[in-house]
Amino acid sequence: MLLAAGTRYAYRLCGRRAAAALQGHAGRSCARSVSTSWSPVGAAFNVKPQGHLWDLLGERRADFVKIGHPEQAFREAAQEACRSIGTMVEKLNTNVELYQSLQKLLDDKKLMDSLDAETRRVAELFMFDFEISGIHLDEEKRRRAVDLNVKILDLSSAFLMGTNFPIKIQKHLLPEHIQHHFARDGRHLVIDGLHAEASDDLVREAAYKIFLYPNADQLKCLEELLSSRDLLANLVGYSTFSHRALQGTIAQTPETVMQFLEKLSEKLCERTRKDFEMMQGMKTKLNPQNSELMPWDPPYYSGVIRAERYNIEPSLYCPFLSLGACMEGLNVLFNRLLGVTLYAEQPFKGEVWCIDVRKLAVVHESEGLLGYIYCDFFQRANKPQQDCHFTIRGGRLKEDGSYQLPVVVLMLNLPHASRDFPTLLTPGMMENLFHEMGHAMHSMLGRTRYQHVTGTRCPTDFAEVPSILMEYFSNDYRVVSQFAKHYQTGQPLPKAMVSRLCESKKVCAAAEMQLQVFYAALDQIYHGQHPLKKSTTDILMETQEQFYGLPYVPDTAWQLRFSHLVGYGAKYYSYLMSRAVASMVWKECFLQDPFNRAAGERYRREMLAHGGGKEPMLMIQGMLQKCPSIDDFVDALVSDLNLDFETFFMDSK
């Protein structure tokens, strides 16, 4: 998952020591100086770090600190810093003198023609930022736009906190035999999630109905957030917030997004119905007294079906997937595909925020040092559960001709190594690692003139393409066989086990994709025409019926737990769109040979290098040698459901 890396307004900070160490020029033929202290990447992740517990970084990006810092006081201070910076940037976006200077540049055709394509695009993006902030309005309306932006920031923060807030109920309200499934607080039980994987139907039902029970304050917060976004969009000249949010994306307009979702839903309909019938059949088999398939059932029963058909027990895979082995696998892939090697480097005292953080230098075979990745991979108290990528400092061409190298943080939640064995990953953890490393390499390999468009700072529906593409590599036996070996015996992971794992992912995959279509459609409607014709809950009920199929559960309000309405407002469809693009790139360029160096170089040249400095559809067209249509995107997603995974396991010739 990409967090806090795509916004155009964010400021980037980094540690002084890291900043001092990063030098070089993007276009020079000579390699940058390399350290003699680098060590193999696999060993660095399969042993505990040596040395002192380092002090915390002096300067760093507030967006990262508010999520990743181990101390609450720092997180709270960073939250306030984010708010202050956001307010300041919104004021800059309504600064008339800056706007007039930029307008003068854009109106000078001779001068604009003399600029390179990326500089012209960045100038246009800055003008877009001005316009969506209401620069063309009179002074009173500009002030109102700033106030609305600040209000939206506050409402977003409040709503986000409410999406994870646990519910307490008195113990006697639940049957005694399921009470032990929930945490206790005196005479109360604490329901802090959906317990979607619980084997007891009643546990899942209780968690669903209690955790999703409407909260009046959260409902009011959501309504105010959606209303404020609409007011801001109208104020600056857009008919809806969705029209404002989608400018510059692959999709461009909400009409295109809905066309994409409706066509995909139509193509999925029959497959989804069969998936639901299959899950209901399993529920009838296991619980004949209560066999109706309900919204709390699919995650559990699809898992039961997968386990029964394919014997996919994660613990059978874990010994073959030590973290060090997986990191070496990524190293092999990047080296063969892109000429890039990862090296572990000992951080300076005061450079990292936790003793478990590993520092990687990313080095190209001819260009030298490309940047640094800080790997905050291990579980700790108060660490958020989501996997994230943060840009601490973006790359840019400096005035002296050298290149400011990028610095990023990857945050995962992996188990610690023990005295007897290293950190062992489930297949899902391994896939997440590849996904997040896709974001990191997007940042490392981007070579833009300006930080404004570096790496993952690109439209949301394009930003996930490199990370999702990495998931395809993580499911290909030709790649997996390079590193998946038993940590004790060295035995390779059997080909049949990988084949079963990949085949199992097709089980109920249509229903899962249909659920994503439902979420994306709901997001579009919430950010469409206002005032909304019905309550957000009534809209949820109607949209669920149209785009999903399982019945709405009375007295629930799932939308109040939909945290992505904050970071992905009007853009939740981006996951599906990015997956469609990644699927096309995989099949066109890497399916025959996942280590194809020529395809890897083309991928870097046409897609990774530009960040947001080039229109996303032009990058896609450059990679695929054609301009895909909405039908092409839909067909790519549907074809994945029918993919014969045996083609993934062809022996390399």
pLDDT confidence of 48, banded at 50, 70, 90?
low
Average pLDDT of the chain? 88
Work out the angle at residue 321's Cα, subtended by the Cα atoms of residues 316 and 326, and round it to the nearest 5 degrees: 165
- Position 630 pLDDT exceeds 80: yes
pTM score, two decimals?
A: 0.86
Helix (H) or strand (E) holding 198: none
Give percent of the chain with pLDDT exceeding 90.
71
b/e map of 30-57 (b: 16 or more CB within 10 Å)? eebeeeeebeebbebbbeebeeeebebb
pLDDT confidence of 5, banded at 50, 70, 90?
very low
Average pLDDT over residues 389-395: 92
Q: Where are the alpha helices (DSSP H) in 115-200?
A: 117-132, 139-163
pLDDT confidence of 133, banded at 50, 70, 90?
confident
- The structure tokens 């400018």 sit at 247
pLDDT confidence of 31, banded at 50, 70, 90?
very low
- The structure tokens 């012209």 sit at 120
- Position 51 pLDDT exceeds 60: no
- Position 27 pLDDT exceeds 50: no
With beta carbons less than 8 A apart as the criterion, state whether 296 and 458 touch: no
Instruction: Give the whole-angstrom CA distance, residue 492 versus residue 509.
Output: 28
Average pLDDT over residues 398-406: 94
Using CA atoms of 308, 312, 316, 320 in order, give the dihedral in degrees to the nearest 10: 160
| DSSP class per residue in 20-56 | HH----TT-SSPPP--S--EEHHHHHHSPPPS-----
Instruction: Give the whole-angstrom CA distance, residue 542 versus residue 522.
Output: 9
Q: What per-residue confidence (pLDDT) applies to 89?
A: 75
pLDDT confidence of 649, banded at 50, 70, 90?
very low
Instruction: Give the whole-angstrom CA distance, residue 26 versus residue 592.
Output: 32
User: Does residue 646 carry a catalytic annotation?
Assistant: no
548 CB-contact burial (10 Å; exposed 0-12 / middle 13-18 / buried 19+): buried
Quick one: tokens of 641? 């459901």
Q: How many helices, marked H, and strands, marked E, lie in the chain? A: 27, 11
- 65-85 tens-digit pLDDT: 666 666 677 777 877 887 777
Q: What per-residue confidence (pLDDT) applies to 6?
A: 35
Q: What per-residue confidence (pLDDT) applies to 312?
A: 80
With beta carbons less than 8 A apart as the criterion, state whether 296 and 559 touch: no
- Position 487 pLDDT exceeds 60: yes
pLDDT confidence of 382, banded at 50, 70, 90?
confident
- 331-375 tens-digit pLDDT: 999 999 999 999 999 998 888 888 999 999 999 999 999 999 999
Q: What per-residue confidence (pLDDT) applies to 12?
A: 28
Q: What backbone phi and psi angles, to 5 degrees, belong to 604?
A: -65, -45
Lowest-confidence segment of 101-105, 231-235, 241-245, 427-431 by average pLDDT = 101-105
pLDDT confidence of 190, banded at 50, 70, 90?
very high
Query: Which of 436, 464, 606, 615 is flagged as catalytic?
Result: 436
Distances 554 to 8, 216, 295, 516 between C-alpha atoms, Å: 40, 16, 12, 21
With beta carbons less than 8 A apart as the criterion, state whether 568 and 454 touch: no
Q: What per-residue confidence (pLDDT) applies to 200?
A: 95
- Position 2 pLDDT exceeds 50: no
CA quadruple 626, 631, 637, 638: dihedral sign: negative
- Position 16 pLDDT exceeds 60: no
Angle between helices 574-585 and 630-641 (to 10 degrees): 80
Whether cis (ω within 30° of 0) applies to the bond prior to 49 is: no
- 202-222 tens-digit pLDDT: 999 999 999 999 999 999 999
pLDDT confidence of 311, banded at 50, 70, 90?
confident
- 508-543 tens-digit pLDDT: 999 999 999 999 999 999 999 999 999 999 999 999
Q: What per-residue confidence (pLDDT) applies to 469?
A: 98
Lowest-confidence segment of 99-108, 328-337, 605-614 by average pLDDT = 99-108
Average pLDDT over residues 182-186: 93
